[in-house]
Structure 1
Amino acid sequence: MSQETTTPTSVLIVEDDRFLRDLIQQKLTKEGFTTISAVDGEEGLKITKEQKPHLVLLDLILPGMDGFEVLRKIKSDPETAATPVVVLSNLGQKEDMDRAMKIGADDFMVKAHFTPTEIISKVRSILKEKYFQ
């Protein structure tokens, strides 16, 4: 019933953990997504502004600029404010989730609670909702 797009959809992964970043990147690529990766907040913000990915997967605990600040800057810039951001973090406290959602995250996933396949499903769901309605 739903029509799959044949156009690659770009996802920026902002994650300092190389193993997890590579794992998610491989899974997304296998599923037909174009992936871009960043290892810290400054790089993630720069790539978001320059390359305009369709979605950002954002860790909160990053070297330099933390994920909350990256999220705040993405959502306060008219050029990037509409970009969906899914927070993917080990911070699972309600306060952290509420803070990220209040700043403008489209969803919040605690790393330990989701498999890479579930993360991909969430990415698909948000992209479908955002771009293909």
Structure 2
Amino acid sequence: MARILLVEDNEMNRDMLSRRLSRRGFEVLIAENGKLGVELTVSEKPDLVLMDMSLPVMDGWEATRRIKADPATSAIPVIALSAHAMTSDRQMALEAGCDDYDSKPVDLSRLVQKIEHLLAENR
């Protein structure tokens, strides 16, 4: 069972997405801000991180940069999640080190395809 770290500050989004991913067979860890997301990535070594980009304490761009800069966590795939669907937002996420990007509201089927693709590449 793949472990996914969901870094999301919105309680409704966190609850909905974690329940739906759990039903799909993933173990879901949760962080409510970017700083905690980095700390949990280092300590728990999830198989993949779903990173909201607009977060308190430390935004998703900086959290991703820190995850990717650490040799112990740099290979962990990160998918950016953002309500901003502009091309520039996607580009900024990729430049920060995200491996993929998905817009909110989340289309679960599309997101799961991206998750499975990155997990397969990372094995």
Same fold (TM over 0.5): yes
Structure 1 residue 125: Cα displacement: 1.7
Identity of aligned residues (%): 37
Residue 125 of structure 1: aligned partner: 117
1:106 alignment counterpart: 99
Q: Whole-Å Cα distance in 1 between the matches of residues 16 and 116 of structure 2?
A: 17
Runs of 4+ in 1 over 6 A off after TM superposition: none
Q: Indicate if the aligned counterparts of 2:4 and 2:50 stay in contact, CA closer than 8 A.
A: yes
Work out the CA distance in 2 between the residues paired with 1:87 and 1:129.
Answer: 17
Is structure 2 residue 11 aligned with structure 1 residue 9?
no
Determine if contact 1:84/1:126 at 8 Å carries over to the other structure: yes
Using the TM superposition, give the Cα deviation of residue 16 of structure 1 relative to its aligned residue in structure 2, in angstroms: 0.6
Q: Which residue of 2 aligns with 1:36?
A: 29
- Normalising by structure 1, what TM-score? 0.87
Instruction: Name the structure 2 match of 1:4.
Output: none
Q: Is 2:47 the counterpart of 1:83?
A: no
Deviation at 1:91, TM superposition (A): 2.1
- Greater C-alpha radius of gyration: 1
How far apart, in 1, do the equivalents of 2:107 and 2:86 lie?
19
The Cα shift of 1:103 comes to 2.2
Alignment TM-score, normalising by the size of structure 2: 0.94
CA distance in 1: counterparts of 2:84 and 2:64, whole angstroms: 15
1:23 and 2:12 are equivalent in the alignment: no
The answer on whether the counterparts of 1:14 and 1:58 sit within 8 Å (CA) in structure 2 is yes
Aligned residues: 123
Q: CA RMSD in A?
A: 1.1
Quote the Cα distance in structure 2 between the aligned partners of 1:13 and 1:91.
18
Which residue in 2 is equivalent to 1:3?
A: none
